[in-house]
Structure 1
Amino acid sequence: MKAEIVAVGTELLLGQIVNTNARFLAVECAGLGIDVYYQTVVGDNKDRLLETLKLAASRADIVICTGGLGPTQDDLTKDVLAAYIGRELIIHEPSMSKISDFFSSRGIHMVESNRRQALMLEGCDPLLNDTGMAVGVAVTYEGTHFILLPGPPKEMKPMFTNYAAAWLSSVMTDEVPLYSKMLRFAGIGESSLEHQLMDLIQDQQDPTIAPYAKEGEVAIRLTTRARDVEEGKQKLLPLEQEIRTRVGDFIYADEDLPLEHVILQLLSSKMMTLSVAESCTGGLLSDLITAVPGSSQSFLGGIICYTNLLKNKLLQVPMEVLEGDAAPGAVSEETASLLAQNLLNTTGSDWSLSVTGVAGPGESEGKPVGLVYVGLGKRGAQPQIFTLKLSGNRDMIKLRAAKSALYQLWKQLKDS
C-alpha cells in the first residue's frame, strides 16, 4: 500500500517547529510494509487543506494527517475531512468525560472550545489519546484510509503505536513489511565509501542499499521485504558480508548509534575512563559525549582550555611552548601531546583526548584554517598525535575535529 503523510500547521511552514512527526511515521509505516511516497506540509487554511486531502487521496491508499485536532479555531483537520467525506462531527463521550474530569479535578473552568478535542467523525473508529485530550480518527472513504493524529509528538507517537498501527494492520491485505539494518561508518567519507560500493549500489534490486551522510560520519541502510526478522536477516546477510569484506575496518556499529555512544559502551565494558582537553572545539567534544545517557560511568570530564593562559595554568603547558618567535605554538603537535599527557595526570583517567587547531574564520599563529592536532593519551604510554587538514566553515571544522578525535579513540579501543 502507498501512503502520504500530511502535516497540518502554519507554524511548520514558518519554520517555528521542526516536523519530526513525519520521520517517525515514515519509519513506522515501513515496518508495517507501507510505502510512503509523499510527505506534505499545509497551513491552517480550510481551502488549502481540503485540496491537499483530495490530492493525497488521489495518489495514496493511506493518508495520515498530524496536527489540527486541538481546541482553537485554527484546528481544522477534523472539520475539513468531515466536509470532504460527507460525515457529521459528533462527540466521543469517553474523551469528553476525560476532558471534563481534567478541568474539574483542577478547579479550572472549562471553556466551550475544549469540547472540540472530543469531536470525531460519525462512523469512524476513534483513536484514544493516552497522553493528551484530542481523540484521533481512523476512517475509510471510497477505498482510501484516513488517519488523523494530534500534532504534539508526545501525543502522536503513543496514539499511533498503541492504536493506529493495529487499525492499519487490520485494513491491509498481504503487505510484506520492510526489514532494515543500519551500518555506521567512521574515518571514511561519503564519496570514498560510495566509490568502494558503487557496483553494489548500481546493481541493487532486493535488498537495496542506501548511503546516508552526516557531518563526520556516514551510514548505510540495507533494506529488504521480509515476513519476519529472521527472514530479513538471512536476506541481508550476503550483502552485508560483501560490504564488510570491502570496508569493514570503518564499520563501528551495525545499528543506528552515534560514534560516541559506541565508544562509551567500549569504555564501560573495559572498565576504563576518559577525559578531554579542548581548545578549538570549545566544549563540543564533551557535549557529544555527555549527550549519551549514562556517560558519567566512563567520562570523568573535560577542560576547555581555549586560551594560552588556561593551557598553562590548568594543564601545565609551558608558555615557552605556547608563545614566542621560536615556540611551536598553541596549534602544534607539542601542545596537543602535552595537553593529552598532562590531562591524564590531572584527572587520573585511563584515556585522554586533546584537540587544538584553527577553526577559523581567519588564520592563527600564521597557520591555516582547518589545521587541527588531536592528541590521544593512554595511561602508561606516550600520546599519539594526529594531524588533520579539515575543510568547511567554523562549525563544520569543530564538528569534524571532534568526530575525528573520537574515531582515533575508537580504533584504539576496539583493538585493545
Structure 2
Amino acid sequence: MICEIIFTGTELLLGQIVNTNAQLIQQELSALGVNLYYQVTVGDNLQRCAAAIKQAAGRADLIIVGGGLGPTEDDISREALAGALRLDLVQDDQALKVVRRYFDRRGIPVTSNNLKQALVPAGGWAVDNPIGTAPGIILEQAGKTYILVPGPPIEFNMMIRDQIIPYLRGKLADEVGIIKSRVLKFCGIGESLLDDKLSDLLKSANPTVAPTAKFSEVHLRITAKARQASLAEEMIDNMESEIRERLGSYIFGVDDETLPGAVTRILLEQGKTVAVAENFTGGQLAYKLSFADGAEYTFIAGLIARDYRRLQEKACLMSGDIPQKAEARAGRIASLVGKQFGADIGMAVAVEPGEKADAAVQEYNLYIAADCNGRLMLKKVLWSGEREAITRRAAAVALVFLWRYLKHGIPF
C-alpha cells in the first residue's frame, strides 16, 4: 500500500512551528509496512489544499491529512476533502457528540463556529477525539482511503496511536508486510569514505541501507520489509553483520545510543573519571559528559570561561602560568584540570582565530587536548563558519577523539 501525507498550515510553511507530527506518523506507518512515498505541506488555502488531495489520490492508496480541523475560517481540511471529491458536507451525529462533550464537561456553551467541526463529507464517519473539539474523519471512496486528523500534537498523537493505526491494522492486515529499521552510528569516519567502503551494500533493495551525516557522526539506517517481524529482524541482523565485518571499529552505538553515552559506558568499564575545561565551547563538552547515564561515577567537574585567563584567576588552576598560545594552552589546561580534580583524564578545548577571522566567514583553529594519566595528546582542527555551530561541532569531535582512544587506543 502506498500512502501520502498532507500537512496543512501556513505556519508550517513560514517556519513558525516545527512539524513534530511528521516523525510520529512516519514511524507508525513504517511499522505497519505502509510505503510512504510523498509528504506535502500546504498553506491554509482551500483551493491549494483540495488540489493537494487530488494529486495525492492520483499516486497513493491512503491519503492522510494532518491539521485544518479547527473551528476557524482558516481550518479548511474538511472543506478541501469534500471539494476534491465533489461531496456535500453533512452534519454527523458522532462528530456533534464529540464537539458537545468537550463544552459540556466544562460547563460552557458551544459556540457557533465550533459547530462546523461536526460536519463530515458525505459517506465519511467521525473519529473520536477524547481531549479536543475536533473529531477526525475517515472516508473510503473508489478504492482510496482518506483520513483527516487534528493538528495539535497531543490530539494528533493520541488519535493516530489509539484509533487510526488500529483501524489501518485491521483493514490492511492481509495486504501489508512489516517494516523494521535499525540505525548503526559511526564516528571517526566521513560519509564519503563510508559510502566507498559500503558501496555495494548501499545498492541493496531489501534490506535497504542509507547513510545520513550528523555533525561528527554518520548514521546508517538498515530497513527491511517482510511478512513477519522475525524475518525482517533476521534480514537486518545479516546486513549488520556484513557492515560490522567491514567497518565495525567505527560503530559506537545502535538506535537510541549516543556518543556521550558510549564514552561514559567505556569510562565505567575501565573505572576512569574525567574533568574538562573549556574556553570556547561554552560548556557543551561538560554538558554532554555530565548528562549521560552513569555520569555520576565518571564525570568529576567542568570549568567554563570565555577568557582562558579566568580559568587561572577564578578557577584555582594556579599551578604555574597558562600559556597564551592556544596550542600550548590546551595541553596545559588539560593537565591542570585533571590534576585539580583528581580525574584520570583531563580534557580542554582552546581556540585561536584563523586567517579569515575578520572576513564574512570566520575561521578558527581548534585545539582539543587530553591528559590521560600523564599521557598528553593534542589535536588541531581548522574550521570555518558560524561560531555557534563550530562550538557544537568542537564538543562533538572532542568526544569522538576520546571514544577512539578509550575504545581502540588511537591517540589524538
Regarding TM over 0.5, the answer is yes
Deviates more, 1:275-284 or 1:51-60: 275-284
- Paired residue secondary structure (2:72): coil
Work out whether 1:197 is the aligned partner of 2:198: yes
Cα RMSD after superposing both structures: 2.9
Contact 1:3 1:34 in 2 (8 A): yes
The unaligned stretches of length 5 or more in structure 2 are none
Is the 2:363–2:384 Cα contact (8 Å) retained in structure 1? no
Instruction: Tell me what 1:400 maps to.
Output: 393
Partner of 1:339: 333
Query: Which runs of structure 2 are paired with 1:13-412 in the superposition (5 Å)?
Result: 13-85=13-85, 86-87=87-88, 88-91=90-93, 92-104=95-107, 110-121=110-121, 123-172=123-172, 173-202=174-203, 204-267=204-267, 273-289=273-289, 299-313=299-313, 314-316=315-317, 320-323=321-324, 329=325, 331-332=326-327, 334-358=328-352, 362-363=356-357, 369-378=363-372, 381-393=373-385, 394-412=387-405
Q: What is the CA–CA distance in structure 2 between the aligned matches of 1:65 and 1:10, rounded to whole Å?
A: 14
Q: CA deviation at 1:308?
A: 2.8
Shift of 1:55: 0.9
- Equivalenced residue count is 400
% identity of equivalent residues? 33
Residue 37 of structure 1 deviates from its aligned partner by 1.0
Which amino acid in structure 2 is aligned with residue 387 of structure 1?
K
- C-alpha distance in 1 between matches for 2:69 and 2:291: 33
Secondary structure in 2 aligned to 1:247? helix
Q: 305-314 vs 288-297, which deviates more?
A: 288-297
Alignment-derived partner of residue 326 in structure 1: none
Distance change >3 Å, CA 78–CA 215, structure 1 → 2: same
Structure 1 residue 75, shift from structure 2 partner: 0.8
1:317–1:339 CA contact under 8 A, matched in 2: no
Secondary structure, in 3 states, of the residue corresponding to 1:188? coil
CA contact (8 A) 1:321 1:335 kept: yes
Q: What amino acid is aligned across from residue 369 of structure 2 in structure 1?
A: G
Cα distance in 1, alignment partners of residues 297 and 137 from structure 2: 45
Q: CA deviation at 1:281?
A: 1.4
CA distance in structure 1 between the aligned counterparts of 2:289 and 2:129, rounded to whole angstroms: 35
Residues 188 and 217, structure 2, Cα contact 8 Å, conserved in 1: yes
How far does residue 156 in structure 1 lie from its aligned partner after superposition?
Answer: 1.1
- Which runs of no fewer than 5 residues in structure 1 stay unpaired? 324-328
Whether contact under 8 Å (1:49, 1:80) holds in the other structure is yes
TM-score (norm 2): 0.86
Change (3 A) 1:260 1:84: same
Separation (CA, whole Å) in 2 of partners of 1:270 and 1:124: 62
Cα deviation, 1:317-341, whole Å, max 9, x if unaligned, reads 6674423xxxxx2x11x32233223
Provide the secondary structure at the position in 2 that maps to 1:390: strand
* TM-aligned CA deviation for residue 11 of structure 1: 0.8
- 1:360 to partner: Cα distance: 6.0
Contact 2:216 2:396 in 1 (8 A): yes
2-structure distance, mates of 1:98, 1:414:
59
Instruction: State the Cα distance separating 1:342 from its structure 2 match.
Output: 2.6
- Distance in 2, Cα, partners of 1:289 & 1:73: 49
Task: String of CA shifts for 1:148-184, please: whole Å, max 9, x gaps.
Answer: 1121222212211111111112222321121111100
Q: Which amino acid aligns with 2:183?
A: M
Stretch of structure 1 that moved more, 114-123 or 149-158: 114-123
The alpha carbon displacement at 1:5 in A equals 0.8
Query: In structure 2, do the counterparts of structure 1 residues 41 and 291 end up closer, same or farther at CA, with 3 Å as the change threshold?
Result: farther
SS in structure 1 of the partner of residue 27 of structure 2: helix
CA–CA distance in structure 2, aligned partners of residues 131 and 275 of structure 1:
47
1:248 aligned counterpart, secondary structure: helix
Say if 1:322 and 1:335, in contact at 8 Å, map to a contact too.
yes
Using the alignment, how far apart are the partners of 1:112 and 1:293 within structure 2? 52
